[in-house]
Structure formats: C-alpha cells, structure tokens
Structure 1
Amino acid sequence: MKLRRLSLALASACAFSVSSFAGEVEVLHWWTSGGEAKSAAELKKLIQAKGHTWKDFAVAGGGGDNAMTVLKTRVVSGNPPTAAQVKGPAIQEWGSEGVLANLDDVAKAEKWDSLLPPVVANVMKYQGHYVAVPVNVHRVNWMWVNPEVFKKAGAKVPTTWAEFDEAATKIEKAGMIAIAHGGQPWQDNTVFESVALGVGGADYYNKAFVKLDPKAIDSPTTIKAFDTLRMVRKHMDKDMPGRDWNLATKMVINGQAGMQFMGDWAKGEFSAAGKVAGKDYLCLAAPGTDKAFTFNIDSFIVFAQKNKDQKTTNDFASAVLSDGFQEVFNQNKGSVPVRLGHDMSKFDDCAKKSAADFVSTNKAGGLVPSFAHQMAQPSAVQGAVQDVVTQFMNSSMSSKDAVAKLIAAAAKK
C-alpha cells in the first residue's frame, strides 16, 4: 500500500472534508446486492437512532477491489470516510499507515475481548489496540444446490469431486446448467479455494495458502487441485464472463442451474426471493470440505478525523457490534453473528449449521482463513494468486505451469 509518505504529508496540509463534522457518519462499503443492501439499511437505522446522519458511500463490484481503489484515493487526498469495510491483513496494512482511530475506550466499556473469539479479536487490533470492529462471520466453502434441478436430472447431490463430475454431467444432459458462476477473478478464486481445500484438506491448505510454504505448493496435491479445477471449469456455461455473483445465485434460485460455489452471503439472495432453506435450496459444504470451514469476516476500520467528535466514531463501532444489529444484519446477509454465545434460535438451518461448524472446526483444526477473500495473504500475494487462477481458468495452461506460477506468486510476500 505504502501510503504513508503521501497520506501523512497531505494530512498536515489538508483539512478533512467539512462533510465530516461530528454527527455525520460516512461509510464506505460494497454491500449493493439485494440481501446486502437490506443489511446496510439496518445499520443506517441504528446510526440515525443515535442522532447521527448517515452518508452512504457504496462502491459496487469486484468483491471489494473497486472499493479499495476508491478508498486509497480518498485517504491519500486527506479526505477519508468515517469508516470503511475492509478485511484481514488489510487492517494491519492500514494500521501501519497511522491513519486509523483508536477504539479501545468503547472496546473496554463493552468488553470486546470476552465478547469476541480470540481469532477474530486479534485481526481487529493493530499493535494491541482495536482499530476495527467486526460485523459477522461468513463461511466461504458452501455449495448451494437447487434440489428440483437434481430431481429433474436424476442426479445425486455430490459429496466428492468424482460424484460432482457425474452429477454435473447429468444436469447438462437434462438441458440445464450445472454450475452458476460469474467469470470474475474473485469468483474464480472462491471456487479454487474450495477445490484446493476439498482435495488437500485443512493442513495442506494452511501450509500452501496461508503459510505459503513452497514445498506444499510445489506438490502433487496442488497439481491435483488444478486438475480438479479444470474439471469443474468445463461445467460452467459460456455466458459466465463478467457475470455478477448475485446474478449467478439467481440462476440457481430460478432453476436455470443446479449449483453455485459461493460464501453464505448468497443465502441473503435466497431469503430475499422468499426461498426456504432445506426445502427450496440446500446449503452443503463443497465436496470434501465438510470437516473444514473457510472463514471471511466483514469488518470496518475507522479513520482518525480532524474536527470530529470521538463519540460519533464510538457510537458507530458500538452499533455494529450490538446484539440488535448482529441479529438483523446477519439474518439478512446470510452470515452468522460474530458475538460469542449469540442466540441462534431465530436463524435458519443453514446459519445454525454454520455457527455450529465454526465452533467445531475451530476445536478440530479445520478452521482456516479464506485466501480468496483477503483473510489469509498479504495483498500483493493475494492479487498475484488470483491472477494465476483466473489465467488458468481462461486458457489452456497446464496444471504444472499453474503450480510454477503459483510458487512465483507466493514469493511476493
């Protein structure tokens, strides 16, 4: 990122925007689809109820990549928003720039250290101080299924990659699309992540994609992961390039396609369409990943602002972690509350399973951060890995060549 030279120089020369006066909360996020937008609206209500003005700063597309480009421009120009949606290692990168507000006062008052799982709390801190507030926990390694499509095709819902190939072939022979997919880099990596986890298991995944161990990457397991990805790719339709993820989800909802590999934010689209989990659609771990959980945590960093009342900043952070917001937001978004011990009685079966699996995989060693969603790797590595996977999916590149490029990408750390 390396914004320090620019941001600190400009911070001394430029006053922040007059629109950032106390009482106004400008929030940058990329929650623009149906279920996501409904979730963002709930936070707006809470902020307004506290007497503050909400200024929406939504940037669509790119799985957050577009939003990060805009955010960097705003910070460098000395005009950051109040808060911005970021994830994983990016929190540490922004913390190192010296532009974030300290949230320790509100965190101590509301006992965040005991309220949050340690794996989550540690991500929210920079040098021991809270600089971000978590919103939720997403499970990424889901496979969404339309059971009616499988019934029409006479196919069995797969639990292994071999069964997946067989089921996908039957669906296509029945005149439907096997996999609903959007040909965008972050979506390509979402699929590859689940494939790699399913092929190699959590231990391999951690070594290869979190620790970036060259020996783990340069292995028969990674070759097999790319071979499997090639098989999965052949079952995607020709119109996938550029398709947004929520449009792919609608294909499953409408019975045009049988399956989609996507995080549990997809459930918000099913809910918005009035569909019932376990009846109209199924939420299953991707083949071979039932004992693992790739997590993606949405969070907000809060920027230090000149001429701004700290109470406004603290009120925003408090609202994000409040019981009421966690309850409503996560039901709309498809994720589960980040607060430990949250009552799940009002959540659907998919959410209850996600919450239970989050706890069990944590104990068993199967809880791993999503590299496709900026939770595991430095931004330079994540971008390079993403490029390799997308190139592989859109060319005749061999699995051996893909592994060589993956090793080079990992070296960017």
Structure 2
Amino acid sequence: MQNEPLAYRMRPRTIDEVVGQQDVIGPQTALYKMIKNGHIPSMLLYGEPGIGKTSIAHAIAGTSKLPFIALNATTSGKKDVEDVVTESRMTGKVLLFLDEIHRFNKLQQDALLPHVESGSIILIGATTENPFHDVNPAIRSRCGEIKQLKRLTQEDVAQLLKSALEDPKRGLGSQEISIAPEQIERIASGSNGDARKALTMLESIVMASDEEDGKTIVDNSIIEQMMKRIGVFGDKKGSHYFNLLSALQKSVRGSDINAAMYYLAHLLENGDLTAVTRRLLVMAYEDIGLANPAVGGHVLAACQAADRLGLPEARIPLAQAVAEMCLSEKSNSAYKAIDAATSAIHKGQTGDIPMHLRDAHYAGSSDLGHVGYRYPHDTPIGSFGGWVDQDYLPAEIKSAEYYKPVIAGEEKKFAGIYEKLKTFRKKKR
C-alpha cells in the first residue's frame, strides 16, 4: 500500500472520516442519515478537482458495505457497463462510481439506465462540469440527489495534512518528520482548496527534504520550490473557467477592484487571452456603457496591446483596463434598450416603416409614396445640432420607449438631452 500515492492512501474509509463538505454529507444532513439508515440514493457530485468527489464515493461504499465498482466514462466501454449489470444480477445490488459522467455515451446509458431506475445499480456520478449543462437529462432524472461540492477550506486541508503526518499505516506517521505548524498551514494555503494537491505536495516535500540522524527536516525553501510547481486550477473551457469569467465581470460590475484583479490573475494563469479579452470588451459596453463611453475604446486598445504582447506582459494593459472599469461610473442602459427592443419584436410589437423613412434613392420611389422626409441637419437647434419633429417608429408603436437612462457619469448629459427632446415633441403635438 505504501507504493500508492499518499492522496490515494488517505481517502476516507467511511462517511464519518470525510473532511469538509459538512453541508453535503455532515452528520446533520439528510444524506448522511439516509446512508446510516441503509438507504443509498443514486446521486451526482459536482465540483472542482480535488475537493472530495471520489473520496465521498469511496466513503459511502465503505459505510454501506455494498459491492463497489469504479469506472471512468472517458475510458470505459459498453462491455464494462454490461459487467456492472451482470454483477448487480449476481449480488442483488451494486454501487457504481462513474467518474467524468458528463462523457457518458448513449450506448452506456441504454445498458445502464433501466438498472439504475430499478435500484439494482446505485449510481454515484462525479463531474467537474455543470450537470445541468453537461450531464444527459436521462441520467439526471434518475439521480435523486445532485450535490455541488465546495472547495475545501484552509482549515480542512490542514486537518487532512496533519492526519496524513500522524497516521502510521496509511500516511507518513511511521517516519520521524520535523515540520512546523506554520509550514503545514503554508502547504494548506497553497493548495487552493485541493486536497489531492495538498497531500501530493506534502509527500513530495517530505521526499525532497534532507535527513539528519534519521529525522526528516522540512525546510521552508523546499516548500516554496514545490509551491511554484502547483498550477492554478481552472481547465480552459470547463465550468470552473466560465465561473471565473462570470466572477470577473460581476466583480467589475460591483466596483470591487481587488476581487476583479484576483479573478483576472486566475484567468491569465490559464493562458487563454482570447476568452479574457473578449469578455473585457463585452463588459466595457455592457456594464460601463454610456456612463463613460471612452472606456470602450480604452479597453479595445488594451486588448489589442495584450494580443500583440502576449503573456506574461499582456497582464499589464489588461490590469489597467480592469482597474478603469472597476472605478468608472456604470450604466447598462444601452444594452437594456436593445434587449427591450428585441423582446418587443419577438412579442409581435411591430409595424410598417413610415413612408417618409423608406429608401428614396431611385427613380419611381415617389410614386410609391416614399416622400416627406425632413433632413434634421437643415434645422439646427441650439448647440445640439440638427433636429426636426417627425416620426421614426412605425405608427402602431410610435409611443414605445426602450431606452431608460441611468443618471451616471457622461450619461447625465445624454439623459438631459433625451428628456428635452421628448418635451419638444410634446409641445408640437
């Protein structure tokens, strides 16, 4: 067993040994009580790597004492599923743990689903992707529980590390290791809530440390070297990656520059400049908008500079763009206006284009009634420019208003003009 990785050896053997995820499988939860009472529902476990999906499945198996089979949907074929079905017929009930369940294909489903429905196979599916996006409805409908797991806290990870250092059979307790509490905390903080990474790093640190008189002495320099080797979590195009993009935009919208920089740093560590710059450009027009129209040009320039520079230098113009957006006045009025107009069209709130607005650049257009348009530039109004009172919307919806100004930044001026023009129209009609 000592040849197996430490993270594998330290998996919980029962649900009472599970560290973290207390709101999912803690003693006060319905799931814990069901399992303790002998009822194991089929379920989906959703969350980032290293936060306990596989461990919870093994812990449930250890508690229930049911025959346990583990498969990975990326490598298992129809024959593997048929073997599970055969096992369930022989034993009466089987607990199947299926990792990467979002990659389940139709043949595997067809062979397995009736047995999950009948209860002869209890399915525990694990996925890093959002099950409501990436897991087939047929699977979801047969799982009574869909649990989203959270990243482990630093305290949870530190507890796991201490257990590994103390356990003489499964962990490193048979070795004499000199490691300070603050060093354990440093490893825990650097694991980013990933128990597997933390235990793997601890094992590597111990193996890389020097021995003195039979005692392994852990040095801070070894810890820091190993910490640099741990990547930031966030697979490109995975659910967590899109969660990072969402968190970045919501932090900018909420004017929290520190949170925005944190999420930007995460995204850039994953190296996908295209997705980041695309999202920043959308944010400039969606969330800053007319309150500070210059931001759109500034962000575009920053994104173009980032594309030309590449990483790591690209972080500099992008950080400036994010900082400016965080601290800028904000308005979503323009995009809300186009969404309102689009919604109205989909609801059938349309009409004919007024005759005087139709194309008149050809012979015979006047015969069709395309006449009466007045050129606004010929009628100056104050310092605004040209304006005339004429209808532009179809007669059927001429009173429609999609734009609702936000009184912020530059849009204060635009809002004043908008309201003034409305009063002009009311006076002349």
TM-score computed with the length of structure 2 as normaliser? 0.23
